[in-house]
Amino acid sequence: MAENDQLSDGANRPLLSTSDEQEYGTSATFLTTTPPEGTFKRNLGAINAFAIVISIVIGSGVFTSPGSIDANVPSPGAALITWLVGGVLAWTGAATLAELGTAIPGEGGVQPFLKRIFGDVFGFLAAWTWIVAVMPATLAILSIVFIETIFSASGVTDQAGSILHKLLSVLILLVINAANGISTKASTRLNNFFVGTKFLSIFGVFLAGLVVVIIGLANSKRDVGGRDWLMKPWFGYRDTPEPDGSTIDWSELSQWEILGHFSAALYGALWAYSGWDKAIYITAELKSPARQLPLAINTAIPTIIVCFIAANAAYYVLLPWDVISTTDSVAVTAITRLLGPAFGIVAAILVCLVVAGSLLGNSFVAGRMTVAAANANWLPHLFAVVGKVGIKPSPDSSSDAPLNALLLSSILSTLYILFGNFRALLTFNGLGEYSFFFLTVVGAIVLRFREPDLERPYKPLLLIPATFAIVSGFVVVRGAVFAPVQTAVLVVLWILGVGFYQTKKLWTKKAEEGHEDDVHAG
């Protein structure tokens, strides 16, 4: 009743909903069912949330994106600044979501936020986009990168489109999803192990760079690692070789052209930092979310920024600068060049473990997104069942894993692997994510003025969400202009989603009317 009273108050009405939607929303189970408290137990702490953010964000990006970023900036110093800017932007977005996550509790990440701010259909579309597009594409990308790293370590770099490569990618995806199907406790323990491998890998790269710096400063004539870090200015323009053999002469480019390259570099950095939003998806499982969620985000993101900048600085020490922009396996290339092929294989194994950890974390979150959408009656109820595969929950099950949701995720991700490729999926994923990140952060700003008295245990400065809204809007527009095919596919998915939403809405309404007729007849 309290919820209905709030909905009747114009001040609390979703911004873009109609009066008809509001009236219908108070009676239709499909639109107003409150997600049951305790789908998952509140047994996670700030350390678990910290580990999940670390595990998801430190994935393939820091080991594969440096080449594409370096190719779009005029100097190594500019590349490091790009990594810093990308990290700060991720931090502003994460801080804003922490505000919403502590003020509007609920399962499903941005879904409950958009539902409250803009209306039910926007919450549904966010859930729909993440479940059928963003998360399957993310899992597909990471699975492809895992197998590509193995192939690259063995000297094979032209088999990404082969059926063997795709089938092996599907296999690693299924193994990771199966690991998440054991239980929440088992998943978090395994995740903690992968977090350890991530720090070990980055520390190994940083340590190698530090050793080279010490040797180079002690004996400037000794040829160890790259020599450019010692002989060339870090912020001076230098010609940048491209993977296709061409060279960028930065002194001949206009400011507009340079801005275009910087935007491409920033896009690569934002991909490397992707996953910063995932802590809010376990808000309902945190023992004290108002305290633990901001703590996890404000410790994890700065830690990641430091790790990424340290690793990239090490790459510029370990490799000649004209090599970095031409490779997509910077870490493996650097270690192989410094210590030989055997250590290159070890580096490839560590990178695979890092990617596996990111896969595990994203798979963990993907299942919870689907459960939240089913609890909101946006998807069939069977996807809210945990502990077993089937329609009805099993009270005797020792598992609390969302097996039906993981099965759906496995099927969709497999389709993306079989019919997609790395670069196309990367752009598609970014467009889907940042469209709703932009909408969510704009919504947080709107909510500041529409509901100023809403209790906000964590409230960053208004400049923080405003900054992220501007940059994320730019990222979406740029992506839509330069990737019309992926944009068209995303728009088609949204149209299908709205059709599914309206069909289910009408079906629910007719079912309720039929039930009322039966009651009156009785």
Q: What is the per-residue pLDDT across 334-389, written as a single tens digit (0 to 9) for each?
A: 888 888 888 888 888 888 888 888 888 888 888 888 887 888 788 888 888 877 77
Report the C-alpha gap between 322 and 239 in whole angstroms.
Answer: 8
1-21 pLDDT per residue, tens? 333 333 333 333 333 333 333
Looking from the CA of 1 toward its CB, the CA atoms found within 13 Å total 0
Q: Are residues 134 and 279 in the same domain?
A: yes
Q: Are residues 423 and 492 in the same domain?
A: no
The DSSP annotation for 392-408 comes to S--TT-S----HHHHHH
Question: Hey, what's the torsion of the CAs at 178, 180, 182, 188, to 10 degrees?
Answer: 150
Q: Are residues 392 and 522 in the same domain?
A: no
Tally of structural domains, the chain = 2
pTM, to two decimals: 0.75
Give the list of residues 6+ apart from residue 94 with CB closer than 8 angstroms, or none: 276, 277, 279, 297, 301
**Cα Rg for the chain, rounded, in angstroms?**
24
Q: Are residues 426 and 499 in the same domain?
A: no
CB atoms within 10 A of CB 499: 10
Q: Are residues 509 and 372 in the same domain?
A: no
Decide: helix, strand or coil at residue 175: helix
User: Do the domain assignments include residue 272?
Assistant: yes
Q: Are residues 445 and 514 in the same domain?
A: no
User: Do the domain assignments include residue 26?
Assistant: no
CA 9 to chain centre: 35
User: Do the domain assignments include residue 24?
Assistant: no
Q: Are residues 470 and 513 in the same domain?
A: no
435: tokens are 């469209």
Q: Are residues 300 and 201 in the same domain?
A: yes
Q: At what angle do helices 110-118 and 422-450 cross, to 10 degrees?
A: 50
User: Do the domain assignments include residue 8?
Assistant: no
Q: Where are the alpha helices (DSSP H) in 376-456?
A: 403-419, 422-450
| Contacts by 287-290, CB closer than 8 A, 24 or more apart | 287/42, 287/43, 287/44, 287/45, 289/101, 289/102, 289/105, 290/102, 290/457, 290/458
Q: Are residues 334 and 447 in the same domain?
A: yes
Q: Are residues 87 and 234 in the same domain?
A: yes
Q: Are residues 49 and 180 in the same domain?
A: yes
Domain membership of residue 124 as a residue range: 43-482
Whole-Å CA distances, 244 to 291, 408, 484 = 50, 39, 23
Most confident of 104-108, 230-234, 369-373: 230-234
Q: Which residues of 247-266 are buried (b: 16+ CB within 10 A; e: fewer)?
A: ebebeeeeeeebeebbebbb
Q: Is the pLDDT of residue 306 over 70?
A: yes
% of residues, the chain, pLDDT over 70: 82
